[in-house]
Structure 1
């Protein structure tokens, strides 16, 4: 039988109602998906309880912090921070340091990033000269592969630069970034909040016996081209915690990789997840199916099970991933495959 949301679950998803029962099952039935201007069956899925702190405390600098490129850096001033990604910006926002974000990537999906004094192009070809011209006090990178060389060049020119890779679990990254900007205690509090959300999602997942086969698609993950995400992508970890089988991981994708038309059919995704930015970049359903024509033959498209999520809740592996993984777990638990 065609798998879909049960009528009760669909009502819960639409109206935000919760059902009675044990705590884990109640969480599974709560709504956080809303369909608006999307193809039939597609849903916008967003967790509402993103971890925040009322009082992050007083910043204490200088700090000696070791990056994932193996270099220990002394950070004395974050007032003109050059951010290497939205997950870095999100951390500064949560810790009350939004005004420190002096420069942000042009493609930033965050309000703070879009409002930064400087917007710069950050990709594999970005050179140290352009970043140095921004005259920042510190650079925070989020990818050992993409930012280690740049960071070394910046340090050689006298600008502190640290890389804290996005491939590690969110709570660990939260603690490390917070400590690096002199707010270790606040980082610990935030990390514990996110860990609690991960545990909540895992509890929901345990109530479900049928794991959906889930694929995350990126419009630009393979060097600017459409890709499937897999091992090392923050979203892959979230899908697994939420009770899904991550297809990218299953087929051995490391990071992001294109998938052939035949491979897409063989993978047989029952659920597709992607970010708002990727949906826009694909050009909606029409653009998605143009990039991956054989998706039309998969259960996910045939049965209309496509979840569109905020970038920060799915893709960047930061604070908002806690709310995102709970939303995913509830959505997976509401699917009816009988």
Structure 2
């Protein structure tokens, strides 16, 4: 996400595209959590999440014409295991840095960390740096098993709860501008807590720099550089592997659109340029049709826009697809979708809400799972080498 920055209490805040996109995604995901809570209150939890353990791209045979595929697919991670250092690292403190707002922050204690953002990226990074034991709470998007038992400090989806945060007595808060209210962040600074604001953009291009920002904040720059290099190398290798199986000619490439869906509330957004989904689609060897028709950030779906885009595949979050009543419900809710190749062939690819746009250390695995769902959905086991 790009955009201008404006002066605000406590430093600089993003304006324009960056702030609108961050707010739109935060609002959309806040609605996700609110609706999930409502479902739980009525005793309806929906189908159980499919287990991890899908095949790897290296173990399947991609189809020759992915545009001819019919039917939906679910992208499943092959391995959701989170790697951590064999021995806990020792942060070098104090560290003084200038965060993404231009605010100078001195970090003296990392014994009690809160890493908070709408994507769940920063918590995952802190954990993979080896400081998982130092995490004292989590945001709603940080739901991987290793931290799922930590107290939530967000309410109504993704609103920061000042009382819940203060009750955990954090010594360091790492966050970005995707969560609010901003007054809560300023309140934490006024309470004497070190608050480091990192980049709110999430894309494949800046995953390494985000890791380095978080690592610098916790006094582990060398460890962060190593993790960033490993993750970036894995992403680059996975993108190259996908490119080797994806169609080369523009006319043969999958035309892909990412839709954010919450059927109960009639919420349908199409993600375009600077939403993060655009970089995901490009890495998968596809054409981001929302960007092609000039859509920027996240905007409500329009019949005209969807028909103009003519996607071959629709990417969605799994809970979102379920909220619309599955593929049939989605086609009924968005009649214009039936006038696209994706609707005609029912090519809806879904992935777990907390994984598909996480943009962190697990990104290579996300790309692999999505590539299998796009190019080899009929393969569920390694091919016989004979």
Q: Normalising to structure 2: TM-score of the pair?
A: 0.67
How far, CA to CA, are the matches of 2:300 and 2:243 in structure 1?
A: 32
Change (3 A) 1:281 1:116: farther
Size of the aligned set, in residue pairs, is 306
1:185 aligns with 2:219: no
Measured after TM superposition, the shift of residue 146 of structure 1 is: 5.0
2:83 to 52, 58, 66: 52
Q: In 1, distance between residues paired with 2:266 and 2:89? A: 40
Of 190, 195, 201 in structure 2, the residue corresponding to residue 167 of structure 1 is 201
Residue 270 of structure 2 aligns to a residue whose secondary structure is strand
Q: Would the alpha carbon gap of residues 332 and 100 (structure 1) be closer, same or farther in structure 2, given more than 3 Å must change?
A: same
Indicate whether 1:138 and 2:172 are aligned: yes
Structure 1 segment 15-94 matched on structure 2, within 5 A: 16=55, 29=61, 41-48=71-78, 52-55=83-86, 57-85=89-117, 86-94=120-128
RMSD: 3.5
Return the offset for 1:331.
4.8
CA displacement at 1:214 relative to structure 2: 0.8
The counterpart of 2:139, out of the listed 87, 105, 108, is 105
Matching of residues 252-263 of structure 1 within 5 Å:
252-263=294-305
2:138 partner SS: strand
Unaligned runs of 5+ in 1: 1-13, 19-25, 32-39
- Cα distance in 2, alignment partners of residues 228 and 155 from structure 1: 36
Could you list the per-position Cα deviations for residues 92-112 of structure 1 after superposition, in whole angstroms to 9, with x for gaps in the alignment? 221222232222224543224
Contact 1:214 1:273 in 2 (8 A): yes
State the secondary structure of the residue aligned to 1:111: coil
1:320–1:147 CA distance, 2 compared to 1 (3 A): farther
Secondary structure in structure 1 of the residue aligned to 2:291: helix
- Unpaired runs of 5+ residues, structure 2, are 1-52, 64-69, 379-386
Q: Report the counterpart of residue 283 of structure 2 in structure 1.
A: 241
Q: Distance in 2 between matches of 1:244 and 1:312?
A: 22
Q: What is the TM-score when the length of structure 1 is the normalising length? A: 0.76
Paired with 2:159 and 2:55, the residues of 1 have a C-alpha distance of 45
CA displacement at 1:179 relative to structure 2: 2.1
